[in-house]
Amino acid sequence: MNIFDFYNGHTKVYGIIGNPIEHSFSPVLQNTILQKMEFNGVYVPFRVDEKDIKKAVEGLYALGFEGINVTVPHKISVMDCLCDIDDTAQKVGAVNTLKRTENGFKGYNTDILGLKKSFAINKIDVKGKKTMLLGAGGAANSAAVLLSQLGAEKIVFVNRTKEKAEALRNHISSFYTGKTDVISFDDIYTYEKPEIVVNATSVGMGEGVWESPVKDSSFFEGVEAVFDVIYIPWETKLLNDAKKYCCKCVNGFDMLIYQGIASYEIWHDTYMDDNTAVEIKDALSEYFLKGGKR
Ligand code: ATR
């Protein structure tokens, strides 16, 4: 790459808003993609307070930003600042990608696109399957919409706070015709065995790194595939337990990479070929597994 062809008067600007933002992997991911695609662009992080979200979005538009990613805690509140929202993002009820249009930013949800791609490349086939979804927060919302769109036979919602699982089930049932149920974590051991389990709780990361929301690992016996949205640590206790029962285990790293690639594709009205995507993923997993050092 020739530096003189980049970061000049033609440079397009992209960014991410969230709070906190310092730990976001997106600047590394998106700048890697821009470089790989030899695109004259730059991607920067912004910490934005909740009270400033409208002003921030208006300011980014006025400054000519081409695309923005949105992370916690703005994924829902940002929806009031947009000129249009894509149907899938509307169903998920959250937006993580803004694309510049003539009238303002249009909102998309690429978390669900990243998860869909991860299921595809890791050969997790949920069509006609009995699925169990652990968690009922933001990540679980995307996963639930995807399970419904991919034609799961049944979705069983499991959450510590049962009311939130009920609310998610009711929302999904407004467009999903498959079977649903809501149970507690205590019930999962005696309930009909699921074929696919998706962990969308935050248990197993941060301070609870040695914890799993599934206390008795024999639950995994006979389960076909287990997906965990977490990617730090690379292998959660939940995935480690599931592996012992020979389940197919997939962490959230591919989802992370492919949601970023999906944002790039939306911003540039393009489709990235599989080989380029894999090269980007391999470069970033190496960087990531070294603890973020080049
Ligand atoms: P995200 O946006 O990453 O999905 P979130 O919206 O805060 O984050 O959701 C976190 C999920 O992890 C929730 O389902 C939460 O359960 P509650 O709805 O009961 O809060 C779940 N979770 C967090 N800590 C948990 C714990 N110690 N045991 C079980 N579930 C937990």
Q: Is residue 204 part of a domain?
A: yes
Q: Where are the extended beta strands (E) located within the chain?
A: 12-18, 41-47, 67-70, 84-85, 97-101, 104-108, 130-134, 154-158, 179-183, 196-199, 225-228, 248-250
Q: Is 213 in the pocket of ligand 1 (CB under 6 A)?
A: yes
- Separation of CA 208 and ligand 1 centre (Å): 12
Q: Is residue 62 part of a domain?
A: yes
Q: Summarize pLDDT for 150-159 with one digit per residue, the tens.
A: 999 999 999 9
Q: Is 136 in the pocket of ligand 1 (CB under 6 A)?
A: yes
Shortest-distance atom of ligand 1 to CA 229? 3
Domain that holds residue 42: 12-109+254-289
Identify the pLDDT of residue 30: 98
Clarify whether residues 27 and 118 are in a common domain. Answer: no
Residues lower than pLDDT 70 in the chain:
1-3, 5, 293-294
Ligand 1, pocket-test mutation among 19, 160, 212, 230, most atoms within 8 A of CB: 160
C-alpha to C-alpha distance for 232 and 209, rounded to whole angstroms: 9
Q: Summarize pLDDT for 200-241 with one digit per residue, the tens.
A: 999 999 888 899 999 999 999 999 999 999 999 999 999 999
Strand partners, 101: 104
Decide if 98 contacts 18 (C-beta within 8 A). Answer: no
Clarify whether residues 194 and 282 are in a common domain. Answer: no
Q: Is residue 5 part of a domain?
A: no
C-alpha to C-alpha distance for 228 and 140, rounded to whole angstroms: 11
Shortest-distance atom of ligand 1 to CA 185? 29
C-alpha to C-alpha distance for 140 and 268, rounded to whole angstroms: 28
DSSP annotation of 147: H
Q: What is the number of structural domains in the chain?
A: 2
Apex CA 191: angle with CA 187 and CA 194, to 5°? 120
Ligand 1, pocket-test mutation among 198, 202, 215, 238, most atoms within 8 A of CB: 202
Identify the pLDDT of residue 6: 76
Q: Is 202 in the pocket of ligand 1 (CB under 6 A)?
A: yes
- Separation of CA 144 and ligand 1 centre (Å): 15
Q: Is 110 in the pocket of ligand 1 (CB under 6 A)?
A: no
C-alpha to C-alpha distance for 228 and 245, rounded to whole angstroms: 16
Clarify whether residues 72 and 145 are in a common domain. Answer: no
Q: Is residue 234 part of a domain?
A: yes
C-alpha to C-alpha distance for 251 and 231, rounded to whole angstroms: 6
Ligand 1, pocket-test mutation among 115, 142, 201, most atoms within 8 A of CB: 201
C-alpha to C-alpha distance for 67 and 237, rounded to whole angstroms: 36
Clarify whether residues 102 and 150 are in a common domain. Answer: no
Clarify whether residues 225 and 137 are in a common domain. Answer: yes
Q: Is 184 in the pocket of ligand 1 (CB under 6 A)?
A: no
- Separation of CA 154 and ligand 1 centre (Å): 22
Query: Token match 């679980």: residue?
Result: 140
- Separation of CA 66 and ligand 1 centre (Å): 33
Q: Is residue 4 part of a domain?
A: no
Q: Is 164 in the pocket of ligand 1 (CB under 6 A)?
A: yes
Clarify whether residues 186 and 235 are in a common domain. Answer: yes
- Separation of CA 28 and ligand 1 centre (Å): 27
Structure tokens at 172: 């999904």
Q: Is residue 232 part of a domain?
A: yes
Q: CB count, 10 Å around CB of 253?
A: 19
- CATH code for the domain in which residue 156 is found: 3.40.50.720
Identify the pLDDT of residue 190: 98
Q: Is residue 7 part of a domain?
A: no
Identify the pLDDT of residue 293: 62
Clarify whether residues 268 and 196 are in a common domain. Answer: no
- Separation of CA 229 and ligand 1 centre (Å): 12
Q: Is residue 6 part of a domain?
A: no
Cα–Cα distances in angstroms (integers) from residue 229 to residues 37, 161, 236, in the given order: 27, 19, 10
Structure tokens at 101: 């249009």
Clarify whether residues 117 and 168 are in a common domain. Answer: yes
Clarify whether residues 62 and 177 are in a common domain. Answer: no
Clarify whether residues 98 and 30 are in a common domain. Answer: yes
Q: Which of 245, 72, 74 lies closest to 60, judged by CA?
A: 74
Decide if 232 contacts 204 (C-beta within 8 A). Answer: no
Clarify whether residues 268 and 178 are in a common domain. Answer: no
Identify the pLDDT of residue 139: 96
Q: Which residues are catalytic?
A: 75
What's the pTM value of the predicted model, to 2 decimals? 0.95
Clarify whether residues 152 and 217 are in a common domain. Answer: yes
- CATH code for the domain in which residue 268 is found: 3.40.50.10860
